[in-house]
Structure 1
Amino acid sequence: ADAADEDETAEDGKCGGGGGGEVSGGEGGGIKGGKEGVSIAAAAVAAGAKAAAASEAWTTWELSLFSKAQVMYGTDCCAIARLLGSRSCREVAASMAAARALGEGIGEASARRNRRKSRSRHRKAQLKPPTAKSNTFKKRLGHRENELWPEYIACNCKGSCNAEYCSCHRDQNFCEKYCACSIRCSNRFRGCNCRGQCRTRQCPCLAAGRECDPDLCHNCTATCDGSAAPGTECLNMKLRLRQHLRVSMGRSTVQGWGAFLQGSCNEDDFLGEYTGDLITQEEADRRGRIYDRMNNSYLFNLNEQWVLDARHRGNKFRFANHSPKPNCKVRLMMVDGDWRVAVFANRNIKPNEELFYDYRYDEDVSPEWANNNKK
């Protein structure tokens, strides 16, 4: 009876489970863990029965989110409770214990299996992502840089995806964490396991044209919350963390206005993001005909369906001019299911140097000043 009167905070501290404590089981009594030889699993099931009786039944939405949350947080019942927002740590712990008793636990079992893997196999997994079975990853590796892909639309598949009816398979996109398919789907992207800084194409995320996701790339999570040791930070999260350099606007040495880097940077350093209005390809064709007559265009293809127009709303990178020998390069990167345009240094850049990148003009449509700039 004393155990039932403990406050919520004390009960939350017991979520991980213990061997010698008390777990309240029925009305007016408790189950002794170590003294009576009753297993922890049986005690947890009893706690689950009491919690279920004291609260409303779990909804389908809560059960679905609970299943996904176990993959993200493992056995951290309080973190799962905060994500649900409608259940206490005690209720979550009781449901996890009941699931483990039935052999349906996710977090602990998968963690033990991962720890049993040898180091040599772990290093191979670092270079080959779990989704290597999927043809999507092979196609991504073989694509040309900045090749346009279809827009990502989360699939509604039940269980593992089938290439015949899955929208992700059809568009040659990965299944993301937003998809309804099983976490064991062979087309689902599972992030990277890199021990370095994710700066080369050995990182599966970078090789697939996407930034690291702290929900999937667990070694990169410390960078996102600021707890990574100096020299170990993930360098493939610049767009997500908005770690851009300062750029100013001034009169260009080539044509009109230009963009200038205020400090200095090294090759492959992240400079910033090209932003603008999101418009359809049809609207971009209409505006493009007008901009061509004005000899002034800020259109940038984002994917097969959408285009960025920075003419009316954009940042200073819209003033970066064209050069066939640029000091900058742009990459299309996927961040949380959305395509974004990242600008990187193509070489070491000095302070106050004007920024250029290759517009990839065709000979018959390039303006006169761009042709004169070819050397």
Structure 2
Amino acid sequence: MMAQPAIALGVPLRLLAEAEGVSAAQVIPDQLVGDYRDLATLTRVTEGCAVVTFDHEHVPTEHLHALEDAGVAVRPGPEALVHAQDKIVMREAMARLGAPQPRWAVVASAADVAEFGFPCVLKVSRGGYDGRGVWVVREPADAEEPLAAAERSGVRLLAEELVDFRRELSALVARSPSGQAAAYPVVATTQLDGICHEVIAPAPGLDPDLAGQAQQLALGVAGELGVTGMLAVELFEVDVDGTPGILVNELAMRPHNTGHWSQDGAITSQFENHLRAVLDLPLGSPAPRARWTVMVNILGSAREDVGHLYDGYPHALARDPRLRVHLYGKELRPGRKVGHVNAYGEELDEVLERARHAAGWFRGDLGDESE
């Protein structure tokens, strides 16, 4: 999805693909297939590149330092990116910055978990995403699996309080090396089995002061941590003695699923602003194009009769000519994100219905409806 604005900007991209024919490899011809965990491969693919950036946070921190030492411009740099790579490092940084966050502790044994208290959430410090590496623990027996997983992986384990939140929010900002920054509207997100399912931009009914607080928090985190590119600050909206408040859940330093709405709903998408930021170009406006934009993910279905995703186009596009569909060229697997739809307009209920119907049609959830 970064390839589209890169073409418009005339910016050539080179890709390190994890396998032949993956999504990005279908649209970026200058590519090398290899392992991002191998420094020699990283050195080869970055040769001659003005800037290196990422679509996930899992490149080893020590390799990024090695690239920087070799004169490669790594954006975001390893000193910033480590806060999205390691959840414990992130929690420590949020504490130093005074950012509101859930109660947390590093745990290494069943006794540590019991001392922290039940119920709680256990997370591996590195490597988890989309709900993987995260467990809700309500009794001592529930802690056995996460403790074993952390030991097998050689990573630390983080315990967090199980937050009683109103809903989940996301504050996205772009920041360039020269310090220019732009904040997108704060959005409301809905998770399904640990995967982002739906995003509403802007978050309906969000108190303007709290929205401003969330944006200022994200801008402050980006500045203090030296982030270059997109930063998503995932938040819990909570009640604090009857007053709405926010807690930092997680950070992501890349274009993020909660910002996919911006492809069609903002003047400048998160993908274009990420490119502009890492190249230190003036940032584009994050302002919305319409009053409401809704993004709904298309997840692979367990149904065997769904067929090819492209089969959904005739109905979805004929029913809603304003609909925007983005398919990723991925093999269908149950629960896998294989695309998303964006709908926008002036009435939220209408926009929600259009986006949900289209995503449901592509998933094969709507039977033989021929409306």
TM-score w.r.t. length of structure 1: 0.22
More strand per residue: 2
Q: Bigger radius of gyration, 1 or 2?
A: 1
